[in-house]
Structure 1
Amino acid sequence: MSKIITVFGATGQQGGSVIRTILQDETLSKEFKIRGVSRDTSKPEAQVLLKQGVELVPADMNSKESLVKAIQGSHSVFLVTTPAWGFAGSDAELVHGKNVADVAKEAGVQHLIFSSLLDVTKESGGRLKHVPHFDQKAHVEQYIRSSGVPATFVLPGYFMNNYTSSGMLRKGDDDAYTLAYPVGKDAQFPLIDIAGDLGKFVAAALKNRSEVLGAQVFAAADYYTPTRILAEYEEVTGRKTRFVQVDIETYKSFMPRSMGEEMLENHLFIESPGYYKGQSLQESHALLEKAGFQTTTWKAYLERNKASL
């Protein structure tokens, strides 16, 4: 009889990647029955999952009662929490993460895989205090560790689709595409094809559970500098690019006021002390390769999405 894995954010980028990877994997597709959690099980993306044999359940992450129904009977759980963008002071991610951890413990879950990040406030020595979408995930990780639930922590890198679908590369009057950051050209960005690759790292953790309990897995293809990002973009697309380091106020003006400070400090953190504090990706890549997977490079991602760039 198949074990149940409950996947939160089933129709989102991360949960969707986990589900696709499990369904496509010969071993895991037989080992696990997938239960997807989505706020709206009627939307088209959810209907596609239903046709693929995924059980879908709604859940309110503020309600432990509704989470019990979603998690009950699960051997494994993949948890991703959603930032409360635009709501200053919200601790929604922390509340949601703690609620799932509590219910997972009560349900006897054997493997909780959490999409985590580092504590920016702590790791920057208090210099950067306004990146709650990192800090709250780190606090959830700490809570899960203290709860005693068997767990692994997968830390996604910087999304490749930030450059291709979020307007981060802006075309100028001279037809050159500008990348503007408040950091220097040598800053190290650990890039990941989030929709394509996050599931691979989670699948690798599922296949090697005993080895990764309590561990952090860094989900990224490689460290890329802004100049390397642009050089490979030029190579694939044939377009001209330029990198510009802008001052703090200019960078903040690029986005809504409610997000400016958070995204600024997010990028300052990437420059120093570093997204993963400069830690090597080698061990995480070895885990991936052992499970039969490979990461998608930035160049490969661009080639695959060339028609829509």
Structure 2
Amino acid sequence: MATKKILVVFGATGVQGGSVVKAVLGDAKMRESWTVRGVTRDVSKPSAKELESLGAETVAADLNNTSTLKGAMKDAYAVFAVTNYWESRSAEVEMTQGKGMADAAKEAGVQHFVWSSLPEVKEHSKGVLEHVEHFDSKAHIEQYIRISGLPASYFMPGFYMSNIPGGMFRQAPPNNDWTFALPIPGSTPIPLLNTADDTGKFVKGILNNREKTLGKRIYGATDYYTIDEIVKEFKEQYPEAGKTAKSAELPHDVFKGIMMKTGAPEKSAEELLQNMRLMNEFGYYFGASLDESHSIVSDKLTTWKEFMQMAPAFAELK
């Protein structure tokens, strides 16, 4: 019997990493040829035990301690690597973590490194948007990986659908109308991703199409939806609650003020504002089509309508 290939998944108890673990172990065909090693800081926590119950091996490693990374990747064929900028709010920390994983993967002889990346905004916007740090830091890690010669593919997650229900799209005063409020026009297209369920579908496609995806960016989104289309489908799904549902374009200073009231430092509030502006002024993926990325995915991707039906914030509207 042939030895199974080992897939190492960093951030295995997080949203993206957890999706990859569940997608691979939930696929009978992939289980024939792959085993999964989930990496987390604490293998004793319930979320790690849940992964073990699915059939994953779990190992402890810390992205801030590069000496722990080599052991986590021992004998690995493929690695899914992801970082969480918002944990430190530091590009320097994130880039150190990403480069550390890439260096350890190269030393371990990994044959397919899948990096959760994002587009470089400052350069492509010609300096108009110079503070979208959580995109640019991941893009700089991608550049480092490309120069290193490590065999890699680049998963580019879209806009999290989970940010919308009850967050950006919520009941608002004075009339408690459902309002999708962002500092950009309603005609702005947003590439939506059901991150928890669909990240793994894209990564499975990357792993199953190694030769086709090496060196390529895979855009992780179901489709582009405008803000107005998102509201329209909400109104159709929930006719009673949706009678007065609407989109609202917030002035930039108002949006920043709201972010700061929820606890974001001013620097982060400006970063989030520029992140929103990116979608309107340049495009989240700078105009890239999703077609080629969809061609490697064999599982059905989640639509916004389907996601709404699962969203706890909308549950009482059924």
CA contact (8 A) 1:120 1:129 kept: yes
CA distance in structure 2 between the partners assigned to 1:271 and 1:106 by the alignment: 41
CA contact (8 A) 2:7 2:79 kept: yes
1:173 Cα deviation from its structure 2 partner: 3.8
Q: Which residue of 2 aligns with 1:299?
A: 305
**288, 292, 304: which one aligns with 1:279:** 288
SS at match of 2:28: coil
1:52 Cα deviation from its structure 2 partner: 1.9
How many residues of Structure 1 are paired with residues of Structure 2 in the alignment?
A: 305
User: Letter of the aligned partner of 1:216 in structure 2?
Assistant: R
SS at match of 2:131: coil
Q: Which residue of 2 aligns with 1:119?
A: 120
Q: Which runs of 5+ in 2 are unaligned?
A: none
Q: Which residue of 2 aligns with 1:245?
A: 249
Deviates more, 1:147-156 or 1:299-308: 299-308
CA distance in structure 2 between the partners assigned to 1:193 and 1:85 by the alignment: 21
CA contact (8 A) 1:84 1:93 kept: no
CA distance in structure 2 between the partners assigned to 1:177 and 1:3 by the alignment: 48
**11, 34, 37: which one aligns with 1:35:** 37
Q: Give the TM-score of the pair, scaled to structure 2.
A: 0.92
CA contact (8 A) 1:84 1:90 kept: no
Deviates more, 1:45-54 or 1:165-174: 165-174
CA contact (8 A) 1:84 1:92 kept: no
Q: Which residue of 2 aligns with 1:264?
A: 273
1:90 Cα deviation from its structure 2 partner: 4.4
1:165 Cα deviation from its structure 2 partner: 4.9
CA distance in structure 2 between the partners assigned to 1:29 and 1:187 by the alignment: 40
SS at match of 1:74: coil
CA contact (8 A) 2:169 2:178 kept: no
Q: Using a 3 Å threshold, how does the CA distance of structure 1 residues 86 and 178 change in structure 2: closer, same or farther? A: farther
Q: Using a 3 Å threshold, how does the CA distance of structure 1 residues 176 and 84 change in structure 2: closer, same or farther? A: closer
User: Letter of the aligned partner of 1:264 in structure 2?
Assistant: L
CA contact (8 A) 1:116 1:154 kept: yes
Q: Using a 3 Å threshold, how does the CA distance of structure 1 residues 35 and 170 change in structure 2: closer, same or farther? A: same
Q: Which runs of 5+ in 1 are unaligned?
A: none
Q: Which residue of 2 aligns with 1:26?
A: 28
1:86 Cα deviation from its structure 2 partner: 6.5
SS at match of 1:199: helix
1:186 Cα deviation from its structure 2 partner: 1.1
1:229 Cα deviation from its structure 2 partner: 0.6
CA deviations 1:90-113 (Å, max 9, x no partner) are 411111000000010000000000
**Counterpart check, 1:75 vs 2:74:** no
Give aligned-pair identity as a percent: 40
CA contact (8 A) 1:172 1:178 kept: no
Q: Which residue of 1 aligns with 2:259?
A: 255
Q: Using a 3 Å threshold, how does the CA distance of structure 1 residues 153 and 74 change in structure 2: closer, same or farther? A: same
User: Letter of the aligned partner of 1:303 in structure 2?
Assistant: Q
CA distance in structure 2 between the partners assigned to 1:131 and 1:66 by the alignment: 30
Q: How does 1:1-309 map to 2 (within 5 A)?
A: 1-84=3-86, 87=89, 89-166=90-167, 168-238=169-239, 239-240=241-242, 241-256=245-260, 257-258=264-265, 259-288=268-297, 292-305=298-311, 307=315
CA deviations 1:115-140 (Å, max 9, x no partner) are 11001111111111111110000001
1:179 Cα deviation from its structure 2 partner: 1.4
Q: Give the TM-score of the pair, scaled to structure 1.
A: 0.95
CA deviations 1:199-255 (Å, max 9, x no partner) are 000000011101100000001011011100111112223323111111111000111
The runs of at least 4 aligned residues of structure 1 exceeding 6 Å deviation read none
CA contact (8 A) 1:11 1:38 kept: yes
CA contact (8 A) 2:161 2:304 kept: yes
Deviates more, 1:55-64 or 1:182-191: 55-64
